[in-house]
């Protein structure tokens, strides 16, 4: 997350909380960031100097309107377009979600597994993490076969790496240390 993303997110959060529309603004800014990430064509339009700034803004307003964006979010993305900072919309979205979670006593946990696990596992893990953090935990699931097995859990800035890949790496380091001359 960039400093610029955090700065815009703080400003947007201040406006949304004053207007008591935090949840709506969160849904809208996430939807716009998702649309931005999903559409290479959209990103290409904004990177292409052949399109005027007014044409780019018109495309953006049309998309935001189709997504049902409020005036506040529409003004924010228009400002980003005017300042040629729309590429930071994902950073802003992520920072906004982090602010909402922090202020509401929730925390997001990213759980990476080598293969999909049953939902019951995630429910139990959420309970354990809630007890450990004292906050409500929302789990984001990711599958990454490169970890071979086990689970990697990231809660805020803390990473719990119980992956087989990490354990094998540790074991390799231990064996190399033991095999090094003078290690005994």
Q: Are 29 and 12 in contact, with CB atoms under 8 Å apart?
A: yes
Q: Are 156 and 107 in contact, with CB atoms under 8 Å apart?
A: yes
* C-alpha torsion sign, points 156, 161, 163, 165: positive
What is the 8-class DSSP label of residue 33?
H
> pLDDT for 29-79, tens place per residue?
999 999 989 989 888 888 888 988 888 888 888 888 888 899 999 999 889
- At 55 the pLDDT is 87
Query: Whole-angstrom Cα distance, residue 70 to residue 28?
Result: 8
- At 182 the pLDDT is 63
Structure tokens given for 7: 């700065």
E strands along the chain, which residues?
106-113, 136-143, 151-155, 158-161
- At 158 the pLDDT is 85
**Strand-pair partners of 154:** 110, 159
Query: Whole-angstrom Cα distance, residue 139 to residue 109?
Result: 5
Looking at every residue in the chain, the average pLDDT score rounds to 88
The pTM (predicted TM-score) of the whole model is 0.67
- At 162 the pLDDT is 79
Indicate whether 121 pLDDT > 80. yes
What is the 8-class DSSP label of residue 115?
S
């Amino acid at each position: 997350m960039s400093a610029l993303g955090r700065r815009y997110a703080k400003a947007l959060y201040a406006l949304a909380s004053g207007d008591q529309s935090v949840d709506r603004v969160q849904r809208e800014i996430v939807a716009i960031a998702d649309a931005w990430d999903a559409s290479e064509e959209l990103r290409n339009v904004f990177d292409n100097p052949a399109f005027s700034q007014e044409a780019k803004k018109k495309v953006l307003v049309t998309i935001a309107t189709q997504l049902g964006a409020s005036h506040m979010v529409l003004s924010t993305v228009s400002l980003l377009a005017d300042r040629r900072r729309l590429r930071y919309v994902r950073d802003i979205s992520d920072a906004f979600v982090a602010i909402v979670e922090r202020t509401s006593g929730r925390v997001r946990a990213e759980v990476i597994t080598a293969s999909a696990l049953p939902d019951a596992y995630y429910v139990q893990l959420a309970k354990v993490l809630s007890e450990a953090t004292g906050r409500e935990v929302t789990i984001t699931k990711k599958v990454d076969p490169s970890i071979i097995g086990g689970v990697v859990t990231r809660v805020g800035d803390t990473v719990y790496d119980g992956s087989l890949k990490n354990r094998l790496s540790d074991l390799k380091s231990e064996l190399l240390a033991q095999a090094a001359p003078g290690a005994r």
